[in-house]
Every structure is written in C-alpha cells, then in structure tokens.
Amino acid sequence: MASELSNPPVITSEGREMTNENVSIETIKKTMFKKAMRGLWDDVVTDYQNPVAQEIKITRSGDTLIHVAVFDGQVETVRRLVDLISNENASKILKMENHGGNTPLHLAAALGSVEMCECIAARDSSLIGARNHDGETPLFLAALHGKKQAFLCLHSMSQNREDLMSRNRDYYSYCRRNDGETILHCAIMGEYFGE
C-alpha cells in the first residue's frame, strides 16, 4: 500500500495512465514522428514493419505515418507502407482518421496524387465512400480541389464496385457533402472547366 502512494501513476496529456506498454507506444510515436519530419523514409518503412507502429497516430492532429507520407508527397513510401499492412488489418489501418475525419485517401485525393489514390483504394475500395467530418468523400475532395485525374481515377475505381452499382443511390451520395453542396457545385465555383 505504501509503495502505491510513493509511486503515483504518471498520466499522459491524453489522460491515460502510463504503463510499460504505453511508454513503449509513446517512444515509438516520438521516434516515428522525428524520422518522418527529418525525411528518413527508409527508416520509417523499416520501423513500420512493427504492427504496433501501423496503428499509432503520430501528430497532434491525429495523423498516422501514412497520412504524413501522403501529405509529404512520398508516393513510393506510401506504396511501401501500404504493402506492409497485413490483409486482415488493411481496412482498419487505412480507415484511420485524423482529427478532421480524413483518411489517407482523403489527403491523396485532395492533393491529386493518382498513384497514391490507386495504391490506397486498391487495398480497400470502400474508402472511396468514407466521409470526413464535413461529409466529404475522397471523390468529392478531388473535385473540390480541381484534381481531375485523381477524381477520374477514384470515379473509375468506384464504378467497378459491384456493391455500389447495386445501390446507385449510395453511389451518388458520394458526390454530396453535409451542407448539400455537390461535386458539380464545387466544380462551377472553382471554375474547373476543361483542361
């Protein structure tokens, strides 16, 4: 009893008690963040082989390593990271959202990276319909940011989903966000006409 009082638990900034497991996770989180920020992507890929590292959010905004690699435009690194995720964990890992509700596919679509969109959506095409906190899908974000090739890529990949084709109403909902704006509204407001 006296030892419990002399060693009070350490509480993290997130309100969790620090255990040996949490300390290890915090260490992995800090190490991965530093390596990513320094552009040590080969080291990040090596460390990402640890399944624990695949589920850690490394930034204050809730981004995973894949979010950060996408945002940094690291196409080959994203491909390598996605390939390291086991089939049974792929959907869970790739559906991880940051504080804005964005998955890595949302970011890839907004940035217009066809290669990253293909890589991520090929592992789980249901991500094309994932909604962020504003109700925007990756397909919607590609149109919103005028990323025509990324939009066409995701549109093509979503057309190949038999489950969507049997539910046309759901497919068209991918094209509308929470405030009622559609992809067409965004294209017109952004003046994305032609090449």
- Owner of token pair 């963040």: 33
Residue 173 has a pLDDT of 58
Q: Please give the span between the terminal C-alpha atoms of the chain, in angstroms, as a whole number.
A: 73
Residue 183 has a pLDDT of 64
Mean pLDDT by 10-residue block, N- to C-terminus, for the chain (195 residues)? 44 47 80 96 95 94 98 98 97 98 98 98 93 92 90 83 50 59 61 55
* Domains with residue ranges and CATH for the chain: 10-189 (1.25.40.20)
Yes or no: say if 84 and 42 are a contact pair by the CB < 8 Å rule.
no
pTM of the predicted structure, to 2 decimals: 0.77
- DSSP secondary structure string, 118-178? HHHHHH-GGGGG---TTS--HHHHHHHTT-HHHHHHHHHHHHT-HHHHTTHHHHHHTTB-T
